[in-house]
Structure 1
Amino acid sequence: MIDFILPLFGRFHPILVHLPIGILAFGIILVFLSGKDESKHFSSIKIAFLLGGIAAVLSSISGFLQYQYEGYTWETVQFHFILGWCTALTAFWLFYETNKLNSFPSYFKIKSAGLFGLLLFTGHLGGNITHGEEYLIEVLPSEIQGALGYELEPEKQLIIPEQGWEELAYFEQVVQPILNQNCKSCHNPKNKKGDLDLTSYQVLMEGGEDGTVMTAGNAKSSPLFSRLILPKEDEDHMPPKEKKQPLKEEIELIKAWIDLGGTTDSKLGEAKITTETLEPFFYKEVKPFYPVTEVEAASESSISDLKEAGFFAETVAEESNWLMISCINFQSFSDSDWFNLKPVQNQIVYLDLTGTQVSNQILDSLGTLPNLTVLKLNETAIDGSSLEKLEANKQLKHLYLNKTKIDIGRIGSLNNHPSLEKVFAFDTPAAETENPGKFSFYLEIGKYQLPALPTDTIVY
Structure 2
Amino acid sequence: MNKLILVQANASQPSDWALFFGHFHPLIVHLPIGFLLIAGLLELDRLIRRNSVSTHTITLILFWSAVSATLACVFGYLLSLGGGYDAATLTSHQWQGIGVAVFAWIAWAVKWENLGRIIPFAQLMYLPALGVALLFLLSAGHQGGNLTHGSDYLTQYAPEPIRTLAGLPPKQNEIKIEPISDVNQALVYQQIVNPILQTRCVQCHNADKAKAGLRLDNPAMIKKGYEDGPVFVAGNSKVSELTKVCLLPETDDNHMPPKGKPQLTDSQIALLTWWIDQGASFDKKVADLAVNDAIRPVLAELAKGSSEKGASEKQVALAGPSPESPVLTMTVPAADPKVVDELKKTGLLVLPLSKEHNQLEVSAVNARSFSDAQAALLPALREQIVWLKVSDTEVTDAALTHIAQLKNLQKLHLEQTKVTDAGLKQLAGLTHLEYLNLYGTAVTDAGLNELTKLKHLKTVYLWQTKVTPQRLASLKKTMPNLEVIGGSDDQSIAKATATNQEEPKKN
- Give the shorter-chain TM-score range: 0.5 to 0.7
Alpha-carbon distance, 1:182 to partner:
2.4
**Counterpart contact for 1:230–1:237, Cα < 8 Å:** yes
State the match for 2:70 in structure 1: 57
State the match for 2:116 in structure 1: 101
Which of 14, 34, 38 aligns to 1:22? It is 34
CA distance in 2, matches of 1:3, 1:247: 33
State the match for 1:6 in structure 2: 18
**Counterpart contact for 2:107–2:127, Cα < 8 Å:** no
Residues 149 and 252 (structure 1 numbering): CA distance in 2 closer, same or farther, change over 3 Å?
farther
State the match for 1:381 in structure 2: none
SS at match of 2:82: helix
Render the CA deviation track for 1:58-79: whole Å, top value 9, x for unaligned.
2123223322313112123232
Render the CA deviation track for 1:238-257: whole Å, top value 9, x for unaligned.
22344344443332121012
CA distance in 2, matches of 1:172, 1:240: 25
SS at match of 2:242: helix
SS at match of 1:105: helix
TM-score, L = length of structure 1: 0.53
State the match for 2:268 in structure 1: 250
State the match for 1:162 in structure 2: 182
CA distance in 2, matches of 1:6, 1:242: 22
SS at match of 2:135: helix
Render the CA deviation track for 1:31-87: whole Å, top value 9, x for unaligned.
445579999732343343333223222212322332231311212323222211111
CA distance in 1, matches of 2:248, 2:279: 22
Matched, 1:208 2:240: no
CA distance in 2, matches of 1:28, 1:17: 17
Render the CA deviation track for 1:224-273: whole Å, top value 9, x for unaligned.
11232345454433223443444433321210122223355765332335
CA distance in 1, matches of 2:46, 2:283: 70
Matched, 1:68 2:78: no
Render the CA deviation track for 1:92-145: whole Å, top value 9, x for unaligned.
222332342058713634542342233223222222322333333345545434
**Counterpart contact for 1:67–1:73, Cα < 8 Å:** no
Residues 76 and 159 (structure 1 numbering): CA distance in 2 closer, same or farther, change over 3 Å?
farther
Larger radius of gyration: 1
CA distance in 1, matches of 2:149, 2:183: 38
State the match for 2:101 in structure 1: 88
CA distance in 2, matches of 1:221, 1:17: 39
Question: More displaced, 111-120 or 261-270?
Answer: 261-270
SS at match of 1:144: helix
CA distance in 2, matches of 1:5, 1:246: 30
CA distance in 2, matches of 1:144, 1:226: 42
Matched, 1:48 2:61: yes
Matched, 1:124 2:136: no
Matched, 1:115 2:136: no
State the match for 2:386 in structure 1: none
TM-score, L = length of structure 2: 0.48
**Counterpart contact for 2:14–2:81, Cα < 8 Å:** no
Matched, 1:185 2:200: no
CA distance in 1, matches of 2:190, 2:297: 21
User: Match for 1:76: what amino acid?
Assistant: T
Render the CA deviation track for 1:402-422: whole Å, top value 9, x for unaligned.
xxxxxxxxxxxxxxxxxxxxx
SS at match of 1:227: helix
State the match for 2:496 in structure 1: none
**Counterpart contact for 2:215–2:221, Cα < 8 Å:** yes
Which of 141, 155, 163 aligns to 1:137? It is 155
Render the CA deviation track for 1:146-191: whole Å, top value 9, x for unaligned.
443443464221544517527x4x4455433432332112101211
**Counterpart contact for 1:28–1:45, Cα < 8 Å:** no
Q: Which ranges of structure 1 fall in alignment gaps of 5 or more residues?
A: 288-460
**Counterpart contact for 2:149–2:209, Cα < 8 Å:** no
**Counterpart contact for 1:12–1:62, Cα < 8 Å:** yes
SS at match of 2:123: coil
CA distance in 1, matches of 2:17, 2:229: 22
State the match for 2:298 in structure 1: 277
CA distance in 2, matches of 1:207, 1:278: 27
CA distance in 2, matches of 1:114, 1:225: 47
CA distance in 2, matches of 1:159, 1:203: 25
**Counterpart contact for 1:228–1:239, Cα < 8 Å:** yes
Aligned residues: 285
User: Match for 2:196: what amino acid?
Assistant: I
Q: Which ranges of structure 2 fall in alignment gaps of 5 or more residues?
A: 1-12, 311-507
User: Match for 1:155: what amino acid?
Assistant: I
Greater fraction helix: 2
**Counterpart contact for 1:34–1:41, Cα < 8 Å:** no
State the match for 1:414 in structure 2: none
> RMSD of the alignment, in Å?
3.6
SS at match of 1:189: coil
